[in-house]
Structure 1
């Protein structure tokens, strides 16, 4: 029996190599998957902020609507998206500051990412997502 095959040892060696390859490759693949989920969430939140600021600015730029109407419209958009902890800012700050037609009106909606993130706080945790929309205003009409 000078010639003997060593198949069991080769199978064991192959399994060990496969286990090492799996252990080396698995953490980066899982990390890439988690980061891609967080980036997708950031894009989704950014789109919701843009939509809310557009809706709020559209309402705020009209002469017969109040600032509270614009806040309510932005709140409705953000509540439907499931976003909490946001702030809404207006420029000019009051409707009385709009003096003429086509004065620019800006609504900015922002939220800290740690309020809307899904779990990986170190990736985008200290950033703030915001969206601003500027539209021309319709000034209040003066009755002669």
Structure 2
């Protein structure tokens, strides 16, 4: 009858053989991690910068939409001038740290519109002026704009 080997004996024989290859495997694995990081890092950083850029775009778009609404609310009031509408819009934009916007009021001046006629306020700004990145990668040539139309109050 064949006798079985004791498990302790087989482990004792194998341990010294595995010690040296394991060390070289660890060393080789460190080099592989460096190569993997070099391949993945540029893609990761592009994704992060893209998220920052698109997040800023959404924030600025919301601020200029609200600014055009505020300008339109001012424009429909009786006796309002174009300068007052522009000042209202620029004041709202300044609270959102946005400068360099173009404000167009139609009709100019808004008092030329009769009661019930539409008054349009358009606010636009190039994204390159409001980007947090030194040179926007994806939205550099885009212009963000918002238009609000409200009816002028009737003159009494």
TM-score, normalised with respect to structure 1:
0.89
User: Superposition RMSD on alpha carbons, in Å?
Assistant: 1.9
Is 1:34 matched with 2:34? no
| Deviation per residue, 1:23-47 (Å, 9 max, x gap) | 1111111110011001110011101
- Spell out structure 1 runs of 4+ moving beyond 4 A: 1-4
Question: Which residue of structure 1 lines up, in the alignment, with residue 150 of structure 2?
Answer: 135
Question: Which of 127, 136, 152 is matched with 1:121 structurally?
Answer: 136
Matches within 5 A, 1:32-71: 32-71=47-86
Question: Which of 98, 122, 129 is matched with 1:108 structurally?
Answer: 122
**Equivalent pairs, count:** 140
Question: Which of 9, 14, 23 is matched with 2:24 structurally?
Answer: 9
Question: Which residue of structure 2 lines up, in the alignment, with residue 80 of structure 1?
Answer: 95
Task: Structure 1: give runs of 5+ residues left out of the alignment.
Answer: none
Structure of greater Rg: 2
TM-score, normalised with respect to structure 2:
0.82
Q: Which moved more, 1:103-112 or 1:57-66?
A: 57-66
Task: Structure 2: give runs of 5+ residues left out of the alignment.
Answer: 1-15
